[in-house]
Chains A and B, each alone.
Chain A
Amino acid sequence: MPLQPWMKMLSTDDHLIEPPKLWSDRLPAKYREAGPTIVEQPRPSGGPPAEVWKYEDRLYPTIGLNAVAGKKPEEFGIDPTRYDEMIPGCYDPRARLADMDIDGVWGALCFPSFPRFAGTLFLEGEDPELAHLCVKAWNDYILDEWCATAPDRLIPLVILPLWDVQACVTEIHRTAAKGAKAIAFPENPVPLGLPSFHTDHWDPVFSAAEETGMPLTMHFGTSGQAPITAPEAPMAVMIALFGCNSMYATADLLFSPVFHKHPELKVGLSEGGIGWVPYLLERIDTTWERHRFYQNVNQDVRPSELFRRHIHGCFIDDSFGIEARHAIGVDNITWECDYPHSDSYWPKSRAVAAERLADVPDEEVHKIVELNVRRLYNFPA
């Protein structure tokens, strides 16, 4: 079996649920009421009240727990809406480690839930100072509590105050000094009302990421734009197409000036799969060969070469991607678990990965499940 027992599986896409007092324990007294707190709300289906986040004067319909979008109201409540309905591994790092142990997973990079996967919720803040403090509080929780529980197993990812470039730069350096290893960033800032990758707006942020050696991790959905084809379309359409967001991000970045101006910048595409990569790179290269001359795109470097230098993807279950690993680049592939989402194979993630990787040579499996993550995220054994 190529997935050897001694290989330490590192997941590049897991999630945590923020504990109720994450912000109230960290914000100054004057902001504790307006900052995110958990409040109870009656549940339409009856039973114990739901617990929801309240931030400033806004109530958020879930505590980051269930998939409400696309569901009929009578289906709400199928998923947990209270902390005591969740498995503790969602919000308790020690329980998380125990769940990882029985799953055969050694390490994990965990994305936020309530702040959204790139912290973009805080763009909605009416008080920028409070929003900034909320970003810093999340990062301090990740660094000082969540990952500090097992620094050799939990990989610290931080979020940014995206409305203020200089504040982003300061936060990157502050958190890097505390041990952060990755930066969550929107797959496309434009739908969020922010400047695109084709402007020079983000250059100081990307330079700070280069200087600190932290990759930008772009989880699908972080643009705030879902691949919805029709109001009547079942949610299955959107779920099936979500990997297209990663394709959009790839084309956007490869035809932008970003990697030409930032030769050390790395980008990780989270949860978008990898099977599409060879097709898209072929298409992008053909476009570049035929159409670059009259457009404001780099004239010298093939986009597929940029991909290999700068971008990596990950997969849970992607047989085509595994078969096409040499066309993608074995060094550009990582594995993800997606715990505690129900897409994960917990508690048999390792066994499923072993099956999927059964025809891959040992040394390539080792790269995919462990070594690439250690290199890309500067996370030595």
Chain B
Amino acid sequence: MAVLEINDIVTAYGKIEALKGVSLSVAEGKITCLLGPNGAGKTTLMMTISGILKPQRGAIRFNGQDLAGKPARTVVGQGVALVPENRLVFPEMTVEENLKAGAYLRRDAGKVPSDIASVYERFPRLQERREQYAGTLSGGEQQMLAISRALMARPKLLLMDEPSLGLAPLIVEDIFRIVRELNNEGTTIFLVEQNAHMALQVAHHFYLIEQGKIVFDGSPDEMEEDEVIKRAYLGSKV
């Protein structure tokens, strides 16, 4: 069952359309991955879903609710949290304050401390550095903080915008292990990636976006069989 349905979304910067009618759906309990080159519109789509950019037309349905053009706070309130591209942690706040910021909209303030504790359980490194400014963390630690911060909202759907960007291969593997772990625990994940190899190991369904349009829609197997995609995104390794 699709938890997120995107229908014919058009988003433009001024007169330039970055998304030219994108439609896709994210199945509940699965990891869906959107692949595509730089500038294809991946981040624009994430920003549109999150409510930072307003689409010119089209519908974004989440559990039947229309979220298109709604402000970010409504989207978060509905249970959609984003791990933004380049992480965007609050550099001059401590690790713990970053987590508290993630729980900003939570009405059950009493349960926040136990959620923070379970984040620390998952990421002991963050507990060690809980009083440290987030800006002093390494790239991998910041990514873990960004993921934890998004989890603090107790999202039903987790959006991740290029979580592997700029990280060392070993850390990338770590991040993808966590992605799978979160999914196994029941979180639906919509992932944007350039790293097709890593994505292949975790995702259940793939979309490919090029120049603002979806050009491929299929399972990992179908993707591996597609000659064009193989050449362009998977290189000779597969």
- Do chains A and B stick together as partners? no
